[in-house]
Amino acid sequence: MEAIPLPSQVSALEDLSGRLDNATHVQRLEWAYSLGQREQLALFELARGNPITVDDVVLDGEKVFIHQGRNGLVLFNRFEKRFARYGDEIVGYNHNDSIGGPFNFLAKRVTGPGHYTAYAAPDGDGIWIDYRAIPTRRHPEFPPLRSNDHGLPALVFGNMVDVLRRASSHVLIGNAFKDKGPARTPLARFGSLFPTAPFVLVQPA
């Protein structure tokens, strides 16, 4: 199979999405893991306006749908976003075991799991993954609920919304923003000063 081009090497999403659709899951994952921040931001722009709904990130019933991903950070950049339909909500959290050892425990202790709810973007641009609105109930397969507005998690997730767009049938691209509305706590306002990063997700075939 011909190599999948980088987002910066194409002028339209159609020049890339077909290649991704024809690739295997392993090939898509290798390609996604190769994308740094610049390429992720290029893909985010290419995917502007491409249709996506919240149903695209969950399975039937209340099964957990695991998306493997990479963010645009230099270190500790592999993770999973886990989504599920639970009651009337689309719920999820960030799962990260890539750090390993005591650093993984420390990272989880400091930032928390980053619970969120997902819904159609109010401005019509993709899906919003909203860390300001944690689920009203804990999914039985998820960690205990923890606020993103208080404590150390507010420095990472405080006042944050991810905008998620579709790049192909199995690849999603997102970018994080902290200017989608006023922060609700002083720590969340302080967290709004911290930088954010884009991310790419690969769904199972």
Per residue in 123-147, pLDDT (tens digit) is: 999 999 999 999 999 999 999 999 9
More confident residue, 79 or 73: 79
How confident is the model over 30-57, as a mean pLDDT?
Answer: 97
Provide the 3-class DSSP secondary structure of residue 80.
Answer: strand
Per residue in 99-119, pLDDT (tens digit) is: 544 455 555 666 679 999 999
Residue-level pLDDT at 35:
97
Q: How far apart are CA 112 and CA 110, in angstroms?
A: 6
Percent of the chain past pLDDT 90, that is, above it, reads 78
Residue-level pLDDT at 101:
47
Sequence-distant (6+) residues with CB within 8 A of 116 are 91, 92, 93, 129, 130, 131, 133, 134, 148, 162
Q: Over 80: is that where the pLDDT of 164 sits?
A: yes
Q: Where are the domains of the chain?
A: 7-202
Number of H helices, E strands in the chain: 6, 8
Provide the 3-class DSSP secondary structure of residue 116.
Answer: strand
Work out the end-to-end distance of the chain between its first and last CA atoms, rounded to an integer number of angstroms: 18
Q: Over 60: is that where the pLDDT of 153 sits?
A: yes
> 168: left (phi > 0), else alpha (psi -120 to 50), else beta?
beta
Q: What is the pTM of this model?
A: 0.93
Residue-level pLDDT at 108:
60
What tokens does 133 get? 């609105």
Q: Are strands 199-202 and 65-71 parallel, antiparallel or unpaired?
A: antiparallel
Q: Are 202 and 57 spatial neighbours (Cβ–Cβ below 8 Å)?
A: no
